[in-house]
């Protein structure tokens, strides 16, 4: 019996092709001389896509009439039009859970680096200045601070637990109140006014684009720290640059950017921003686990007709069993 055909538009973590080998026929589209011709020729055979960052919209979906499942590598899937997929009976999955701790660790690392100016201190040492004078005292500390978590999902809760271990009080803003001990604020502006650390963990997409704007940054205030380990599009980067330059807020720690890998030049110019190249989940064990979940979703779907981790937009398809 022929193996199910999976389209892989671009390179993926080693664990994905290794896990698919022998169970699926894999079309490595980026290795072909004429991707459009390959898609046209094999369109009726392709029943799944293993995807890592390639935009997938309705037009792309319409080219694959036999498609049943898109297995996304990552928790965020804003580059996939999941509603368009659901309209066409295509299930979308992602990789939640396996990267929570790694991303939460990165968020706390960014916070420590930003508050205590650790990157600046290291640059000071490497430049040889310690031979001449001591590094200046940092103007602030973690002590007595309150963190506001925007998006108290799995990763948000993991960040909150770590913050508590550092003696930081926690509050949050969600679309809906959760059964947790943390104080809830019904609007982002109210949360920003009440805290001095604002940590962003919401998905990207049109609904959250520029959710953190100039008004929110002003509410965070001159002792405020912004941490973003979610999606760069959630923050208005031009407003953030102005806030950092004008000391509207104290600093920012960013692992994601609005047009990555391009970084707003203003962010590169200011010294009160710590910038990382989207490495939140970028450890070998975590990326292998993410790849393993991509494979598990594909195997479970074609063996049992049920994916392991469907996204919310696919819930009705999974319940009906007619993906």
Burial class for 317, CB neighbours closer than 10 Å (0-12, 13-18, 19+): buried
* 31 a catalytic residue: no
Per DSSP, which regions of 65-123 are E strands? 69-72, 91-93
Read off the DSSP letter of residue 182. S
Q: Of 173, 231, 264, 287, which residue is the catalytic one? A: 231
Q: Of 88, 154, 210, 278, which residue is the catalytic one? A: 278
* 260 a catalytic residue: yes
CB 227 within 8 A of CB 111: yes
What tokens does 306 get? 């049920």
* 190 a catalytic residue: no
Distance of CA 271 to the CA centre of its chain: 24
Closest by Cα among 175, 130, 129, 136 to 152:
175
What tokens does 152 get? 């108290």
Buried b (16+ CB within 10 A) or exposed e, 271-305: ebbbbbebebbeeeebbbbbbbbbbbbbbbbbeee
- Active centre residues (catalytic): 231, 260, 278
């Amino acid at each position: 019996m022929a193996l199910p055909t999976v389209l892989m538009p671009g390179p993926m973590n080693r664990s994905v092709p290794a896990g698919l080998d022998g169970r699926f026929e894999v079309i490595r589209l980026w290795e072909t001389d004429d991707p459009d011709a390959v898609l046209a020729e094999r369109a009726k055979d392709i029943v799944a896509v293993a995807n890592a960052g390639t935009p997938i919209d309705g037009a792309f979906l319409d080219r694959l009439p036999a498609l049943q499942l898109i297995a996304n590598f990552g928790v965020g899937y804003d580059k996939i039009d999941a509603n368009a997929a659901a309209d066409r009976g295509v299930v979308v999955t992602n990789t939640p859970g396996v990267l929570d701790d790694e991303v939460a660790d990165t968020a706390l690392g960014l916070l420590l680096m930003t508050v205590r100016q650790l990157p600046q201190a290291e640059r000071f040492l490497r430049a040889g200045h310690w031979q001449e004078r001591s590094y200046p005292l940092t103007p602030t500390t973690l002590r007595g601070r309150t963190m506001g978590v925007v998006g108290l999902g799995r990763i948000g809760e993991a960040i909150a637990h770590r913050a508590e271990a550092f003696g930081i009080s926690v509050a949050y803003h969600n679309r809906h109140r959760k059964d947790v001990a943390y104080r809830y604020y019904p609007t982002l502006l109210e949360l920003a006014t009440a805290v001095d650390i604002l940590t962003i963990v919401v998905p990207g997409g049109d609904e959250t684009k520029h959710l953190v704007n100039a008004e929110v940054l002003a509410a965070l205030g001159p002792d405020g720290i912004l941490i973003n380990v979610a999606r760069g599009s959630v923050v208005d980067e031009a407003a953030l640059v102005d806030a950092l330059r004008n000391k509207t807020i104290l600093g920012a720690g960013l692992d994601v950017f609005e047009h990555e890998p391009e970084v707003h030049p203003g962010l590169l110019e200011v010294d009160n921003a710590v910038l990382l190249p989207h490495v939140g989940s970028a450890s070998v064990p975590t990326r292998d686990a993410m790849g393993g979940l991509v494979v598990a979703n594909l195997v479970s779907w074609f063996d049992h007709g049920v994916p392991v981790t469907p996204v919310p937009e696919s819930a009705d398809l999974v319940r009906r069993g007619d993906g």
